[in-house]
Amino acid sequence: MVESKSIKWTSGIAALAGVWAIIAAFVWSVPQMLLWSNVGIGALIALFAGYTAYRAMDEMAVHKVVPGLAALGGLWVLVSPFVIEAVSQAIMVSNVVTGVLVAAMAGYSLVRMSEFEAPRAKEPAA
């Protein structure tokens, strides 16, 4: 099914970007608060987006909140270097690119999920 295939790939890319947010915090010198922000939010993005990709691979239904939370996490990764004041230009660029990528991929999955409804169980006849 095309819908579940596109959800699988976009969610998988978002999950990998969440893992990159974690790695990037250790690659460049970052303030302690930004480090924990990237690790925590990156893990949540990887978890939510990975779960969405896993469910899409088996064509199982996923509640729309899950990719929505991943998209919100991506938006936080996008703005966090400005809120927390990143000292490195490299981590700032990394977070902005990662945040845009996650928000776009998870947002796309969310939009595609609105079009893709799982079959509902029939109600017993009265």
Q: Pick 121 or 2 by higher pLDDT.
A: 121
What spatial distance separates the first Cα and last Cα of the chain, rounded to whole Å?
Answer: 34
Cβ 67 vs Cβ 106: under 8 Å: yes
The DSSP call for residue 28 is S
In this prediction, residue 85 carries a pLDDT of 81
Write the pLDDT tens digit of every residue in 19-54: 999 999 999 888 899 999 999 999 999 999 999 888
In this prediction, residue 120 carries a pLDDT of 55
Cβ 18 vs Cβ 110: under 8 Å: no
Q: Provide the H-helix boundaries in 1-126.
A: 2-27, 32-57, 65-83, 89-115
Mean per-residue pLDDT of the chain: 86
What's the rounded mean pLDDT across residues 87-106? 92
Environment class of 64 (CB within 10 Å of its CB; exposed 0-12, middle 13-18, buried 19+): middle
- Above pLDDT 70, what percent of the chain? 87
